[in-house]
Amino acid sequence: MRMHNPPHPGEVLRELCLKPLELSVSEAARALGVSRKTLSAILNGRAGISPEMAIRLSIAFDTSAESWLNQQTQYDLWAAEKRRKSLRVERLAA
């Protein structure tokens, strides 16, 4: 079942992981082994969670990589569905 207007995983990361631990973007980026720019792009919804980032997050926050990827997939599908009517696709029937 698709979620209505799911949050970007970066928002979840900020609100449920960084804020409770009072981590700055720089501190979290250093712990994750990524640049501040990379983490900032995710937190601000300008970039998505890659499989590698999902693994990094799962290690750092004792979560599953699948949960991060599922959040990203739900967000991406919701965003794509908003553009459904503008897609020019011909229905094919067998």
pLDDT digits (tens, 9 = 90+) for 64-74: 999 999 999 99
In a domain, 91, yes or no: no
- The tally of domains found in the chain comes to 1
- Condensed to tens digits (0 to 9), the pLDDT of residues 1-24 reads 556 889 999 999 999 999 999 999
Find where tokens 């590698």 sit: 52
DSSP letters, 17-83, are: IITTTT--HHHHHHHHTS-HHHHHHHHTTSS---HHHHHHHHHHHT--HHHHHHHHHHHHHHHHHTT
pLDDT of residue 3: 60
CATH number of the domain residue 49 falls in: 1.10.260.40
Prediction pTM value: 0.89
Range of the domain at 31: 9-81
In a domain, 88, yes or no: no
Q: What stretch of H or E contains 12?
A: helix 9-13
42, with CB counted inside 10 A (0-12, 13-18, 19+), is buried
In a domain, 13, yes or no: yes
Mean of per-residue pLDDT scores for the chain: 95
Whether the per-residue pLDDT at 25 is higher than 60: the answer is: yes
What is the mean predicted confidence (pLDDT) over 51-66? 98
